[in-house]
Structure 1
């Protein structure tokens, strides 16, 4: 690969890193052509962008995107080894993990393997994070949960006031009937 081509790949990765809030680095080495085609189709169905790139190009793109702290040094040394493909998503951070789990179950495979992920800047390293990542809630789900938590005390207060109003009205009515 010529230098110009490498720079174009890095620019493309930098653009995707800035466009998408989440990415997963996976290892799909060992899949047959048919399995890779099924995997790519599954990515398209789930609105995921999949790209294979050299580890050094991924690292340069991450560094250009601002990933230079100690956490990313661990990410670079543990994740960017061997074959690497990147899944990008702009939807829920759990979408690639759910798609990976479904693909592995449907195809009865052990590949592709999750090497690492970045969900809005938080890093997850290792295949053991797949279950945790697949249960992450989306931003909309979290906002809904917070609204429900905020609504519950108010609902309880309103229910108490409304039930007390009926009891109070009943007591006033009983007292007024007793004195008439």
Structure 2
């Protein structure tokens, strides 16, 4: 292999290492058997959610994962592999891939990386079942508002009772 090709691959590994380190989550899937239309639709859905999908040689991804300080990724990077990187939303790539896998049976989640930790297929699928960031914030806000709302209702009930007695 020429020195230019080696330098090019080293540069790609460095870029992938940076991308892994900066990503909130990375989901690895087996896409073998998907049609061009299915892959195009999947990429469109991911792009709309701010997720980038790449097909990269497994050996380069393994080197990038090791350089990023992640061990045990070798078993995930076997066979045809596509990788979805999300720098903002942890749940988005897992959710989109899991939803897409319901209609495209050939798509299989292999595993991934969540906030710098190697995650198994089961952990990625569990992550996909969580609500997105906005949904979680909405749930948190609802929980925080409940005591105030209950207090306001109690005061209203007392004032109405006193008003009826007068």
Range class of TM-score, shorter chain: 0.7 to 0.9
Change (3 A) 1:142 1:31: closer
| Partner in structure 2 of residue 81 of structure 1 | 78
| Partner in structure 2 of residue 140 of structure 1 | 134
Deviation at 1:96, TM superposition (A): 2.0
When the two chains are superposed, the root-mean-square deviation of aligned CA atoms in Å is: 2.6
Candidates 112, 116, 126, aligned match of 1:117 = 112
Between the aligned partners of 1:90 and 1:155, the Cα distance in structure 2 is 36
Between the aligned partners of 1:103 and 1:88, the Cα distance in structure 2 is 16
Change (3 A) 1:64 1:136: same
Change (3 A) 1:77 1:153: same
Instruction: Give the stretch that moved more between structures: 37-46 or 3-12.
Output: 37-46
Deviation at 1:136, TM superposition (A): 1.6
Structure 1 unaligned residues grouped into runs of 5+: 174-180
Structure 2 unaligned residues grouped into runs of 5+: none
Larger radius of gyration: 1
| Partner in structure 2 of residue 52 of structure 1 | 55
2:31 is equivalent to residue 28 of structure 1: yes
Query: When the two structures are superposed, what TM-score results if normalisation uses the length of structure 1?
Result: 0.74
2:120 is equivalent to residue 99 of structure 1: no
How many residues in Structure 1 have an aligned counterpart in Structure 2?
163
Between the aligned partners of 2:150 and 2:37, the Cα distance in structure 1 is 57
8 Å contact from structure 1 (residues 42, 103) kept in 2: no
Report the 3-state secondary structure (helix = DSSP H, G, I; strand = E; otherwise coil) of the residue aligned with 1:79: coil
8 Å contact from structure 2 (residues 91, 133) kept in 1: no
Query: When the two structures are superposed, what TM-score results if normalisation uses the length of structure 2?
Result: 0.79
8 Å contact from structure 2 (residues 24, 89) kept in 1: no
Change (3 A) 1:156 1:39: closer
Between the aligned partners of 1:165 and 1:155, the Cα distance in structure 2 is 15
